[in-house]
A and B are shown apart, each in its own frame.
Chain A
Amino acid sequence: MNAIVESRDSTSAFRSKGASVSASQRFVLLLKREFWEHRGGFLWAPLVTGAIAILFSLFGAIAGSLMFDGRNMRVNDLSFNGAGGVEAVRHAVGFAGDIALLVGTGITTSVLVFVVFFYALGSLYDERKDRSVLFWKSLPVSDAETVLSKAAWALLLAPALAVVIGLIVGVTLWLITAGMMLVNGIPGAEAVFSRSHPFRVLAHVLSTIPIYVLWALPTVGWLMLCSAWARSKPFLWAVLLPFLGAILISWMGGVTGLAVPYGSVWYTLVVRGLLSIAPGTWYLNHDASPQRVNGPTDLANAIDFSSTWQVLGTLDLWIGAAIGAAMIYAAIWLRRHRELAD
């Protein structure tokens, strides 16, 4: 009897001794853990790609400046005589500045697409494959917390990091463009500064992040579900199922002669299921796509962020997000209940 009393006492004693860990502290540590493991993809991949882009444009600018002899250029002989012509040049130069700014995020986010794709696909599979899941599961961290920390990286943190790096790259490219134009005495070069819209571009790019979270949810959810479910080759399952599904439905439509909405089938399964991790794919939804970009003014309109936010008004985005959330829930369930194959 003594032992029982004693053990109760000491149990409560060492319960109070241990400092409790709050859920938010734990989640922050889980996020850190993902960064430790995937630093290469999240940080170095966009950083290195951005640096290479800067290096190339710098080489290009220097080489171009050396070959281009500004003294021989006679502006008045060119076709854009007159006040309107100069104005057009300034417009074009400003446009070039905007493009330079956007190219930065374009480069880093296209790297991001690959990083997020393979990260999500491996997020719950790799730990099972190397059996380290047995270590993670020996700690008092719930499956929901673990899976959500991985989803948070795929949907929010990795894109945000890529965008921030992309903006830095973009500003650098913008300065290189401006520098090159000024050095070579291109008429209207100062318009890079006066006619570009750096803050609008920045605001626009940052404003797409919340949309990205919701838009990419079905794809990230699908990839994580495959990652949690596949016993082997999650890549094949994740890619082939939507494609085969779309092909099968199209083929059935062809055979039976039913009016299958082919476009919608392919759009739903392949674009929303697999490609929605690419930023900007929301423009494929017709309700959200801007008017065609024909020139500088249109570009300025296109990057007006209110137009991007139109996608928030589409059912497409919200249904996709709901399905994505459900798939992440299923991934949590699988990680909790699925047995490891020995």
Chain B
Amino acid sequence: MNAVASHDTGHDAVVSARELRKAYKSTVALDGTSFEIPPGRIIGLIGPNGAGKTTALKAILGLTPFEGQLKVLGRDPRTQRDELMNDVCFIADVAVLPRWIRVGQAIDFVAGVHPRFDREKCERFLANTKLKKTQRVRELSKGMIVQLHLALVMAIDARLLVLDEPTLGLDILYRKQFYQRLLEDYFDEQKTIIITTHQVEEVEHILTDVMFIRNGRIVLNAAMDEVSERYTEVLVSADRVDAARALKPIDERALPFGKVVMLYDGQQSAGTSQLAALGETRTPGLADLFVALMKGTYA
């Protein structure tokens, strides 16, 4: 509850963005984007390809120039990046660890330059993997590289962790393990994690907040419980489809045997009681909601 309170007042926000603008030659990546991220949250930044997710993260990390106001932990990433990086950490892509480095050297380096790095913690994480200190990154599989990177990053007591497609190209075992570790061994109410990914189903259960971004604009920014209050999915049998359509679903998709799943936005259409009369109701999955809200993106 406290977190929600600070969300409302905007004090102490980890990230506070106002009217971010960034245009590349052919596309507008950020189009007056504004949002606030309070501390102690795990935010999923979700959008179709080219929606501006990565640009938004790069702006937060001081990796790209942009227009507008942006404060990360009270600092401007454009001018105060060096100080900021003591409190912010990121995995900006899979497998960006230099290929020549040895596991032990990577640990030594981070331990030497980062005031908040806990070597014991890192070694504890690595003890559960097959990684050996003398191995070079180029000898590791993609999954093992991510394990190493995650162990390094999780041993850093940063206040903001940014993960841009951290599990792209990994098999399901590594992906599950990745998010589980993050939740169990890293996250606490002092930390904030921002994640972008296309594998929405896999992060859904660990997110506290979700942000949908489309064409450089935030189209949905809500806590997960707000999402489940606002959106309802109804399993409508074939004979009630017309009645259900009258209540203006935002999306519908057919199931085998004539049943149709209709998705309703509580702010635009009828209340829950009316929907319950149509059939079985449930909270929509984030993936289905995403597809519904992003309709026509590539048209």
Chain A stretch 286-342: residues in CB contact (< 8 A) with chain B: 336-337, 339-340, 342
Establish whether residues A21 and B112, one from each chain, have CB atoms under 8 Å apart when the complex forms: yes
Establish whether residues A4 and B12, one from each chain, have CB atoms under 8 Å apart when the complex forms: yes
Judge whether B99 is part of the interface by a CB distance below 8 angstroms.
yes
| Chain A proximity of B170: nearest CB distance (Å) | 17
Judge whether B97 is part of the interface by a CB distance below 8 angstroms.
yes
Establish whether residues A33 and B116, one from each chain, have CB atoms under 8 Å apart when the complex forms: no
The contact string, 1 if C-beta is below 8 Å from chain A, for chain B 99-134, is 111100100111011111100000000000000000
The contact string, 1 if C-beta is below 8 Å from chain B, for chain A 220-256, is 0000000000000000000000000000000000000
- Select which of B2, B11, B64, B82 is within 8 A of A2 by beta carbon: B2
Chain A residues positioned under 8 Å from B6 (CB to CB):
3-4
| Chain A proximity of B86: nearest CB distance (Å) | 5
Establish whether residues B85 and A3, one from each chain, have CB atoms under 8 Å apart when the complex forms: no
Pair count A-B, CB < 8 A = 108
Known: A1-B5, A19-B115, A135-B96. A342 touches B190 (CB 8 A): no
The contact string, 1 if C-beta is below 8 Å from chain B, for chain A 115-135, is 000000000000100111111
| Chain B proximity of A340: nearest CB distance (Å) | 7
State the CA gap A324–B65 with chains docked (Å).
27
Establish whether residues B11 and A131, one from each chain, have CB atoms under 8 Å apart when the complex forms: no
Judge whether B167 is part of the interface by a CB distance below 8 angstroms.
no
Establish whether residues A342 and B54, one from each chain, have CB atoms under 8 Å apart when the complex forms: yes
Q: B-side binding surface: helix, strand, loop or mixed?
A: loop
Chain A residues positioned under 8 Å from B96 (CB to CB):
130-135
Chain B residues positioned under 8 Å from A134 (CB to CB):
63, 90, 92-93, 96
Establish whether residues B115 and A138, one from each chain, have CB atoms under 8 Å apart when the complex forms: no
Establish whether residues B2 and A4, one from each chain, have CB atoms under 8 Å apart when the complex forms: yes
- Select which of A1, A17, A127, A139 is within 8 A of B114 by beta carbon: A139
State the CA gap A38–B3 with chains docked (Å).
48
Establish whether residues B91 and A33, one from each chain, have CB atoms under 8 Å apart when the complex forms: no
Chain B residues positioned under 8 Å from A2 (CB to CB):
2
- Nearest CB in chain B to that of A3: its residue: B2
Judge whether A207 is part of the interface by a CB distance below 8 angstroms.
no
Judge whether A200 is part of the interface by a CB distance below 8 angstroms.
no
Establish whether residues A36 and B82, one from each chain, have CB atoms under 8 Å apart when the complex forms: no
Establish whether residues A1 and B91, one from each chain, have CB atoms under 8 Å apart when the complex forms: no
Establish whether residues A141 and B113, one from each chain, have CB atoms under 8 Å apart when the complex forms: yes
| Chain A proximity of B164: nearest CB distance (Å) | 9
Chain A residues positioned under 8 Å from B157 (CB to CB):
14, 17-18
Establish whether residues A135 and B98, one from each chain, have CB atoms under 8 Å apart when the complex forms: yes
Judge whether B227 is part of the interface by a CB distance below 8 angstroms.
no
State the CA gap A131–B114 with chains docked (Å).
21
- Select which of A10, A32, A131, A140 is within 8 A of B82 by beta carbon: A140
Judge whether A142 is part of the interface by a CB distance below 8 angstroms.
yes
Establish whether residues A36 and B93, one from each chain, have CB atoms under 8 Å apart when the complex forms: no
The contact string, 1 if C-beta is below 8 Å from chain A, for chain B 189-209, is 110000000000000000000
- Nearest CB in chain A to that of B85: its residue: A140
Judge whether A25 is part of the interface by a CB distance below 8 angstroms.
yes
Chain A residues positioned under 8 Å from B105 (CB to CB):
33, 36
| Chain B proximity of A332: nearest CB distance (Å) | 12
| Chain B proximity of A132: nearest CB distance (Å) | 4
| Chain B proximity of A142: nearest CB distance (Å) | 5
Judge whether B51 is part of the interface by a CB distance below 8 angstroms.
no
| Chain A proximity of B216: nearest CB distance (Å) | 16
Establish whether residues A137 and B63, one from each chain, have CB atoms under 8 Å apart when the complex forms: yes
Given contacts A7-B39, A36-B105, A138-B85, 5 further A-B contacts (CB under 8 A): A21-B113, A136-B98, A137-B85, A138-B91, A339-B65
Interface residues of A (CB under 8 A from B): 1-4, 7, 10-11, 14, 17-21, 25-26, 29-30, 32-33, 36-37, 127, 130-142, 336-337, 339-340, 342
Interface residues of B (CB under 8 A from A): 2-3, 5-6, 11-12, 39-40, 54, 58, 61, 63-65, 81-82, 85-86, 89-93, 96-102, 105, 108-110, 112-117, 149, 153, 157, 159, 189-190
Q: What 6 A-B pairs have minimum CB-CB distances, sorted nearest first?
A: A3-B2, A132-B98, A29-B112, A18-B115, A140-B85, A134-B92
17 A–B contact pairs at CB < 8 A? A3-B40, A7-B12, A7-B189, A11-B159, A21-B114, A29-B112, A127-B98, A130-B96, A133-B96, A134-B93, A135-B92, A135-B149, A136-B98, A138-B85, A138-B89, A138-B153, A140-B85
